Amino acid sequence: MGFSDIAALPRDKVTVVTIARRAGVSSSTVSRALNGDPRISDGTRARITALAVELGYMPDALARTLSGGRSGLIGLVLGPVENPFYISLLQEIVSQAALRGLRPLILHLGGGSVEDETAHALRQYRVDGCLVTSAHLSSDIADLCGQRGVPVVMLNRVTRLRASSVSCDNLEGAGEVARFLMAEGHRRFVLVGADTASSTALEREEGFRRPLEESGFSVTRISGGVSSWAGGFRAGEHIAALPEEERPQAVFAVSDIMALGVMDALRRRGIGVPEEISVVGFDDIAESARPTYGLTTMSQPVGTMVQRGLDLLLARIANPNLPDEVTLLRGKLVVRDSTRQRMV
């Protein structure tokens, strides 16, 4: 069975056994991995979690057997997973939810709309609340869930919708990156963005631009398309094709996965990172710390983000009349080997 066959499997046929067969492990290992059992290694948990997302796994048997009161199920709306950050976020949610006696119902939004997927889940399952990690949302989701009395909390997105949210302070974080690069002596800058209207990406772009422009520097924006390694690689190819005197001294990508693509493209063309161009990302995914990249990045406080998100969600499940809250968390600049100080 190829990947296209997997994607075409009807969701009602996807069970723990299905995932176990595809992963080459036992059903009990799959159950433990999805429930955040510490006996399962990080690598195995990541592989099983990613496969569950691809297959659109939903714990049907559990939902059918629950009766009376709260179900203990929380919907987890997950967008496209080209960015590994969302896999790490999913792992943290599953782990922390299990500690609170909650089971996430994963809604993987591949090609379908958020509204259709969410409405389907709310009709078929008695979900107590919903965590939304997808950056690609219309304003209908909060209203749709509200009409059914389901509280919603957005993670990794500052929302102007009728919902609470927990996010890294993208404006401040990207601004800190800009100030760091200026202090390191860089004077020519490129911003690698994505073709998306997500508040997360837009705030990072604005946060990076603002202090640079206030200091009299211009910023060239290059779009890589999708926020993915391939998108970053395309942007890096564009940068590498520029005449040497027009190339930037520093590049900031709105996500780590794009920054890694930029680095690979530059190095493929024989351009040294950081010898000729410094590169910085945002997220601090696991790949960024590998010696191959050593990416300087703004690290998101994923554990705190999930903890606060679950706190907000559970409070609103207990009391639906609580007002919405927007929580911004401070990131941490992690300086590695992809940046260097330049002579001013």
Q: Where residue 301 falls among pLDDT bands split at 50, 70, 90?
A: very high
Reply yes or no: is the peptide bond before residue 104 cis, omega within 30 of 0.
no
pLDDT at residue 100, rounded to an integer: 83
- Segment 105-120, tens digit of pLDDT: 887 665 555 565 565 5
State which H helix or E strand residue 93 sits in. helix 84-99
Region 88-110: what's the mean pLDDT? 85
The fold adopted by the segment(s) 170-300 is Rossmann fold (3.40.50)
- Segment 232-288, tens digit of pLDDT: 999 999 999 999 999 999 999 999 999 999 999 999 999 999 999 999 999 999 999
Domain ranges of the chain: 3-166+301-329, 170-300
More confident site: 338 or 137: 338
Distance of CA 37 to the CA centre of its chain: 22
Give the strands of the sheet with 164-168, arranged side by side.
Answer: 103-108, 73-78, 129-132, 152-155, 164-168, 326-329
CATH topology match: 3-166+301-329 vs 170-300: yes
pLDDT at residue 60, rounded to an integer: 47
- Homologous superfamily of 3-166+301-329: Response regulator (3.40.50.2300)
Q: Give one DSSP letter per residue of 46-87, joined into a string.
A: HHHHHHHHHHT---HHHHHH--SS---EEEEEE---SSHHHH
**Percent of the chain's residues with pLDDT above 70:** 81
pLDDT at residue 75, rounded to an integer: 87
Q: Is 172 a residue whose pLDDT tops 60? A: yes
User: Measured between alpha carbons, how far is 181 from 186 in angstroms, rounded to an integer?
Assistant: 6
Would you say 92 and 306 are in contact if contact means Cβ atoms under 8 Å apart? Answer: yes
Region 126-132: what's the mean pLDDT? 86
State which H helix or E strand residue 307 sits in. helix 302-318
pLDDT at residue 326, rounded to an integer: 92
Q: Give one DSSP letter per residue of 198-239, joined into a string.
A: -HHHHHHHHHHHHHHHHTT--EEEEE-SSSSHHHHHHHHHHH
Q: Is 72 a residue whose pLDDT tops 90? A: no
User: Measured between alpha carbons, how far is 47 from 43 in angstroms, rounded to an integer?
Assistant: 6
